[in-house]
């Protein structure tokens, strides 16, 4: 079955994924040149950097999710369909999805990345992920459920296992999640559970490499480590995780921790649809592209953002998998498509790195802007401001502001809700 889309005399350009890059492409590509089709499995855009705050009860999903149709409401030429891509036939220039198949003339992959377990067997079954809104909500419910369950048992080992939390991966997401759990332990849970001894709640951050925030400066890593310790987070470095069976995580050779909650933030891999030959795919499951975002093997297929592996002199292993890269690449591709249709020369992509930051609980953050490095309260303030301004939509910015303000003055997390799927 074909997806019900009118045929026109313009070439059809299909964009897969409505993340940071996909949305820019859909909004900015010239509709005179192409019939533009955008596919995403959700009907909303997710502001991924704040997913961990949804998981820890600080924000509602609606504050970081934005309906896709709002983005394109003044662009009725963008044809948007909710669809899960199941594969691509490069030979037939056709995409297959759960709602039917679709021919393309040009294809832009903006599918981002997904959680990578590096071939571990049991982890996919038992570890919690945090790449989508439903996953973050599920984690929120699970954390709270484990506290409720801890009240029910008189077996102290089981109770401790229920209120022990292990975060794997010392990147920004892992550090921020562990920090948020630390804040819950310090300010929220002792008031909520006077029957439990919250001092027994343990938070572990396990990192395979020698430092946390390895992508940032040594100064930022050190300070982040200090901040985490102040929040009572046990940080394990040089500690690769071996296995997790839902009850016990083993790492660093023989070490084990008993826990019912393991949050995996240790790796991502390109979310590449099936159908590409192996020689087109590079490390991390990303599609190899030239500096014009074009697949080396298939010139009518482009890739931007996390899914694109663009190797340059400055980035021999590809660009970092972060939002600014995706945003800048999408912008350059939009311009190149316009240049192409005007018969002008294309411009190669150059990444302008604005800096990196991460927050570790209340009043604490680390910021690297080139040579400028600072940590602590001012860094935290900068982090808040930048993220607030990046959130899409006036309503969402207002609500996030209210929530952050409320969380700050009340030491509270208002959204400690266990909302589970509908049962009739």
**Residues classed as catalytic:** 176
Residue 298 engages a copy of itself in binding (rule: CB under 8 A)? no
In the list 344, 395, 408, 411, the residue contacting a copy of itself (rule: CB under 8 A) is: 395
Choose one: 149-157, 165-173, 273-281, 296-304; the region binding a copy of itself (CB under 8 A): 149-157
Q: What is the DSSP string of 209-247?
A: SSSSSTTS-HHHHHHHHHHHHHTTEEEE-S--EEEE-SS
Note whether 267 binds a copy of itself by CB under 8 A: no
Helix H or strand E encompassing 194: none
Residue 98 binds to a copy of itself (criterion: CB under 8 A): no
Nearest to 261 by CA among 184, 410, 147: 147
Q: Is 144 one of the binding residues for a copy of itself (CB under 8 A)?
A: yes
- Would you give the distance in Å from CA 151 to the centre of its chain? 33
The CB-of-339 to a copy of itself minimum distance in angstroms stands at: 29
Contacts of 21 (CB under 8 A, 6+ apart): 110, 304, 305, 326, 327, 329, 330
Minimum CB distance to a copy of itself smaller for 214 or for 398:
398
DSSP string for 38-86: EEESSSEEE-GGGHHHHHTTSS-HHHHEEEHHHHTTT-TT-EEEE--EE
DSSP code, position 272: P
Examine residue 410 and tell whether it contacts a copy of itself (CB under 8 A): yes
Of 85-93, 170-178, 316-324, 404-412, which part binds a copy of itself (CB under 8 A)?
A: 404-412
CA nearest to 81, candidates 41, 27, 45, 39: 39
Q: Which span sits near a copy of itself by CB under 8 A: 268-276, 330-338, 344-352, 413-421?
A: 413-421
Token pair in block for residue 297: 């093997």
Q: Which of 237, 281, 296, 414 binds a copy of itself (CB under 8 A)?
A: 414
Give the count of beta carbons closer than 10 Å to the beta carbon of residue 252: 15
Does 137 interact with a copy of itself (rule: CB under 8 A)? yes
Q: Is 239 in contact with 228 (CB distance < 8 Å)?
A: no
- Subset of residues 23 to 62 that bind a copy of itself, contact rule: CB under 8 A: 42-44, 60-62
By CB under 8 A, is residue 419 in contact with a copy of itself? Answer: yes
Residues that bind a copy of itself (CB under 8 A): 3-4, 42-44, 60-63, 65, 67, 69-70, 73, 76, 79, 81-82, 99-100, 124-125, 129, 133-135, 137-138, 144, 148, 151-154, 191-195, 393-396, 398-399, 402-403, 406, 410, 412, 414-424
């Amino acid at each position: 079955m074909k997806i019900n889309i009118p045929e026109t005399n313009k070439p059809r350009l299909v964009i897969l994924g409505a993340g940071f890059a996909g949305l820019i492409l859909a909004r900015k590509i010239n509709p005179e040149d192409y019939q533009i089709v955008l596919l995403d499995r959700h009907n909303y855009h997710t502001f991924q950097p704040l997913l961990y705050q949804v998981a820890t009860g600080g924000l509602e999903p609606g504050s970081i999710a934005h309906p896709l149709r709002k983005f394109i409401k003044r662009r009725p030429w963008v044809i948007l369909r909710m669809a899960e891509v199941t594969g691509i036939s490069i030979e037939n220039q056709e995409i297959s999805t759960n709602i039917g198949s679709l021919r393309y003339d040009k294809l832009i992959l903006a599918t981002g990345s997904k959680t990578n377990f590096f071939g571990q067997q049991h982890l996919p079954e038992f570890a919690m992920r945090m790449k989508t809104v439903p996953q973050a909500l599920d984690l929120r419910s699970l954390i709270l459920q484990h506290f409720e369950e801890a009240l029910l048992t008189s077996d102290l080992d089981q109770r401790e296992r229920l209120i022990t939390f292990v975060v794997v991966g010392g990147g920004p997401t892992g550090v921020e999640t562990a920090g948020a759990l630390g804040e819950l332990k310090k300010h929220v849970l002792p008031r909520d559970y006077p029957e439990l001894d919250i001092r027994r709640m343990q938070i572990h951050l396990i990192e395979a490499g020698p430092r946390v925030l390895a992508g940032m400066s040594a100064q930022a890593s050190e300070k982040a480590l200090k901040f985490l310790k102040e929040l009572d987070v046990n940080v394990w470095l040089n500690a690769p995780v071996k296995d997790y069976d839902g009850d016990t995580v083993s790492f660093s050779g023989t070490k084990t921790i008993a826990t019912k909650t393991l949050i995996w933030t240790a790796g991502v891999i390109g979310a590449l649809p099936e159908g590409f030959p192996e020689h087109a795919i590079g490390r991390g499951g990303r599609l190899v592209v030239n500096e014009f975002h074009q697949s080396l093997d298939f010139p009518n297929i482009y890739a931007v953002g996390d899914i694109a592996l663009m190797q340059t002199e400055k980035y021999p292993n590809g660009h970092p998998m972060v939002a600014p890269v995706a945003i800048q690449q999408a912008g350059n591709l939009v311009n190149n498509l316009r240049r192409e249709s005007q018969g002008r020369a294309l411009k190669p992509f150059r990444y302008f790195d604005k800096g990196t930051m991460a927050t570790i609980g209340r009043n604490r953050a680390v910021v690297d802007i080139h040579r400028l490095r600072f940590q602590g309260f001012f860094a935290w303030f900068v982090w808040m401001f930048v993220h607030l301004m990046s959130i899409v939509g006036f309503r969402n910015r207002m609500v996030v502001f209210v929530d952050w303000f409320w969380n700050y003055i009340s030491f509270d997390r208002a959204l400690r809700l266990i909302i589970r799927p509908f049962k009739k």
